[in-house]
Amino acid sequence: EAGVAQSPRYKIIEKRQSVAFWCNPISGHATLYWYQQILGQGPKLLIQFQNNGVVDDSQLPKDRFSAERLKGVDSTLKIQPAKLEDSAVYLCASSYRLQGPNSGNTIYFGEGSWLTVV
Amino acid sequence: GEDVEQSLFLSVREGDSSVINCTYTDSSSTYLYWYKQEPGAGLQLLTYIFSNMDMKQDQRLTVLLNKKDKHLSLRIADTQTGDSAIYFCAETPGANNLFFGTGTRLTVIP
């Protein structure tokens, strides 16, 4: 089966500009996650959707980050305006069931969108 | 709060065994996971272990769990150059999320 698809793979922008990342999860997966991975660190959850509803966005910097999953399939993550510290890899992930990884529900990751803010 | 600690670097010779260690804090984690990240790539699930198990073997991979000490390890037998990557352990502090360590960069020396 096809994996989690993300685009663009690489993006370089100037600070204060905006950027958008797109994610298409594995077909049939109800839960979609966006993680931020800063160089040298592990991924950290930004937002989680179940179908088209937000489950957890407590770590999303809402003054500049927004995300949506309008039809419960694809998702877009936007940053506006970008700061230097937003330079990171943005990983999209999905899982089949509504239960989380604490129930053994495997999360599958895309290859990530690499953002450099200069 | 959650905290997952891993040593940053490990070097082994090709053909030797690698052991990557991890300590975690959340005793309510029902499952614990190991992911692999190759350069420029996303995270690949390697294996996971249920918290009521103390060992799980999957081909060259062996996971050991000491729940009392909150210590998790991943052993890779007969390590190959293709195993060079960053390895992340992750706990599951709540129903919804994976909480990752900083990762261990494994270098396999030919």
User: pLDDT averaged over chain B?
Assistant: 91
User: Which among A100, A26, A41, A2 is positioned nearest to B37, based on CA atoms?
Assistant: A41
- Nearest CB to A101; choose among B33, B42, B88: B33
Cα A39 to Cα A44, A118, B19: the distances in Å are: 12, 15, 23
Asked whether residue B27 carries a pLDDT value surpassing 70, the answer given is yes
d(CA A77, CA A34): 8
**Cα–Cα dist B59/B19, whole Å:** 15
Q: In angstroms, how far is CA B70 from the centroid of its own chain?
A: 13
Instruction: Tokens for A75, please give them.
Output: 């998702």
SS3 category, A102:
helix
Phi, psi dihedral angles at A38 (to 5 degrees): -80, 145
Give the gap in angstroms from C-alpha B14 to the nearest C-alpha of chain A: 25
Both structure tokens of A30: 């109800």
**Is the minimum CB–CB distance between A28 and chain B shorter than 8 Å?**
no
pLDDT in tens, B33-77: 999 999 888 899 999 998 888 999 999 999 999 999 999 999 999
Mutation pick from A38, A39, A102 vs chain B, by most beta carbons of B within 10 Å, is A102
Q: Residue A115, CB half-sphere, CA atoms under 13 Å: how many?
A: 29
pLDDT-based confidence at residue A103 (cuts at 50, 70, 90): low
